[in-house]
Amino acid sequence: MKFRSFYRIFFFKKSAKPLKQIFSSLGLASIVVIGLCQSANAQAPIESIEGIRSKVAQFLTDEYSGANAEKIEVRVGKLDSRLRLSKCNQELVLNLKDTSKTGGNINVQVSCNAASTWTILVPAQAKVYRSVAVAGRNLQRGDLVSAADLSSEIKDVGDLRIGFALTPEAIIGKEIKFAVNKGETFRNSALDAPLVIRRGDVVSMESSAGEIRVRTSATAVSDGRIGQQIRVKNNQSARIINARVVGVGKVQSIL
């Protein structure tokens, strides 16, 4: 038997019985012990796999419902039916890392923090539909976007995770860099700050040193968009300096 070495170490010194009689009696005892262990394991309560999947589905629905969603579709992946997780005598803890609340293919961490501690990752897919800004007409390069140029549609924002402007506030006033067709969402790469200064324009330039602020006029040497750095000529000193565009016809000198 596989248990002989075990019993030799712990029991031989206390017994004067013949080896055959010892193993005969111990063999019976081991069978009884093994049977009891197997019976105990078989009766130990375990978590329902379908119960876990159901909790994940409800958890995701609740999470995304608070994210201004018009509609939510949740699918929870299958788990191995052979998985045996001890029944948790506390509420399961579910965690999701999706700060943008846009859904997509995700994993939900499910943990039991009771006496029997365990953690698993449950794969899932969440489709989160929101109202997003789209082009209300065909827009061409150079067009400035106004509120009248926008419409709204319900779209799965999981497909628009990165690189899209989805709200009117992020789009209105921007200049189109390449064509956007009616009904399309706006990629950030298609939008640019508007051109507010053109070469030769006379602009108001502000210079500051500590608490002292001086305003003077200057002439733009190049075109400029808000936030860009351009070169301007001080109309009093005739010096050409660098300045940052801060508004329509306004720049701030860079010392």
Q: DSSP of 84-108, one letter per residue?
A: --BPPSSPPEEEE--TT--EEEEEE
Q: 195-253, which class in CATH?
A: mainly beta
The count of other CB atoms within 10 Å of the CB of residue 216 is 14
Cα-Cα-Cα-Cα dihedral sign, residues 165, 166, 168, 170: negative
Model confidence at 21, in pLDDT bands (50, 70, 90)? low
Task: Write out the E strands in 100-156.
Answer: 103-113, 117-135, 150-156
| Residue 43: per-residue pLDDT | 62
**What is the reported pTM?**
0.61
- Which tokens hold the place of 93? 């803890």
**What mean pLDDT, rounded, does the chain reach?**
83
Q: Is the pLDDT of residue 62 over 80?
A: yes
Note the CATH number of domain 130-192.
3.90.1210.10
Model confidence at 110, in pLDDT bands (50, 70, 90)? very high
| Residue 66: per-residue pLDDT | 78
Q: Is the pLDDT of residue 12 over 70?
A: no
Note the pLDDT tens digit of each residue in 179-220. Answer: 999 999 999 999 999 889 999 999 999 988 777 888 999 999
Choose among 44, 123, 23, 37: nearest CA to 80.
123
CA distances from 198 to 14, 65, 98, 244, 247 (A): 104, 47, 43, 14, 12
Q: What is the CB-side half-sphere exposure of residue 147 using CA atoms within 13 A?
A: 1
Surface-to-core class of residue 45, CB atoms within 10 Å of its CB (0-12 exposed, 13-18 middle, 19+ buried) = exposed
Domain ranges of the chain: 49-129, 130-192, 195-253
Q: Is the pLDDT of residue 56 over 90?
A: yes
Note the pLDDT tens digit of each residue in 229-245. Answer: 999 999 989 999 999 99
Residue type, 71: K
Of residues 236 and 16, the one with the higher pLDDT is: 236
B/e letters for 137-161, b = 16+ CB within 10 Å, e = fewer, are eebeeebebeeebbeeeebbbbebe
DSSP 8-state symbol, 180: B
Q: Is the pLDDT of residue 36 over 60?
A: no
Choose among 200, 171, 172, 201: nearest CA to 186.
171
| Residue 35: per-residue pLDDT | 40
| Residue 159: per-residue pLDDT | 84
